[in-house]
């Protein structure tokens, strides 16, 4: 597979949605406020609910993001990327294989892969050229928003993977305002957050603080 000329993603502040945490504020409103305050990428993650509900929410977010320059990435449900009109997909170690995901979304959209260990990175390095655009590394620290997440690897593992990866790495898991600078020192290209934005009393202010902490 020949690597296409996809523009690099801005991973500095990667918002992953959580319908439960957003509560009455709503996912679409949360995303709109976060993007206006500096979120650079949005991933729609909704492990519950039907495909029809997922598509409806995805289309609402695509409308919110239209004209903002901030891409919409779909977690796991790769088969719905085109129907939503999303800009790419993200798969985990237990989801659809990256090669199959790339075939489904085509050469023009972005694709990310979650990795937790150096062994996962080695497996990613064996994929055909052009399959991936970035890695999600973590959980770095213990977290509460994804019950089935792998054990926390710590900043040392993040640094090892970021150093060896040919792709930019976004760190996820237990990242709050006090850990952003440490993540950057580990060589990550950005931070992915859920509860640091979703469900916060002032979404815009929380987002601005995270962006300022990145520097």
Tell me if 114 is assigned to a ligand binding site.
yes
Residue 162's contacts (CB-CB under 8 Å, 6 or more residues apart) are: 137, 169, 186, 187, 188
Residue 191 half-sphere exposure toward CB, CA atoms < 13 A: 31
Tell me if 202 is assigned to a ligand binding site.
no
Tell me if 165 is assigned to a ligand binding site.
no
Tell me if 153 is assigned to a ligand binding site.
no
Question: How many CB atoms lie under 10 A from the CB of residue 181?
Answer: 12
Say whether 114 is catalytic: yes
CA distance 102 to 104: 5
Tell me if 195 is assigned to a ligand binding site.
yes
Tell me if 18 is assigned to a ligand binding site.
no
Tell me if 174 is assigned to a ligand binding site.
yes
CA distance 59 to 23: 19
Tell me if 10 is assigned to a ligand binding site.
no
- Active-site hit among 6, 103, 146, 208: 146
- Specify burial of residue 159 (Cβ count, 10 A radius: 0-12, 13-18, 19+): buried
Residues in the chain: 215
Classify residue 115 by its DSSP letter. Answer: E
- Active-site hit among 12, 45, 102, 179: 45
- Active-site hit among 102, 114, 165, 179: 114
Q: Which residues are catalytic?
A: 45, 114, 146
Annotated binding site: 75-76, 95, 114, 146, 174, 194-195
Annotated binding site for Mg(2+): 76, 95
């Amino acid at each position: 597979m020949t690597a296409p000329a996809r523009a690099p993603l801005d991973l500095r502040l990667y918002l992953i949605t959580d319908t439960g945490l957003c509560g009455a504020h709503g996912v679409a409103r949360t995303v709109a406020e976060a993007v206006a305050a500096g979120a650079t990428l949005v991933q729609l993650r909704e492990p519950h609910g039907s495909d029809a509900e997922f598509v409806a929410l995805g289309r609402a977010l695509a409308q919110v993001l239209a004209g903002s320059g901030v891409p919409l990435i779909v977690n796991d449900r790769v088969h719905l990327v085109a129907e939503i009109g999303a800009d790419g997909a993200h798969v985990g170690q237990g989801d659809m294989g990256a090669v199959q995901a790339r075939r489904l979304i085509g050469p023009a959209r972005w694709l990310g892969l979650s990795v937790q260990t150096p062994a996962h990175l080695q497996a990613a390095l064996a994929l055909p050229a052009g399959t991936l655009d970035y890695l999600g590394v973590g959980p770095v620290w213990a977290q509460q928003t994804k019950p089935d997440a792998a054990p926390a690897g710590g900043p040392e593992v993040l640094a090892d993977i970021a150093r060896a990866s040919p792709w930019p790495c976004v760190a996820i898991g237990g990242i709050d305002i006090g850990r952003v600078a440490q993540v950057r020192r580990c060589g990550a290209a950005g931070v992915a957050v859920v509860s640091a934005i979703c469900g916060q009393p002032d979404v815009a202010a929380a987002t601005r603080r995270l962006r300022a902490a990145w520097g």
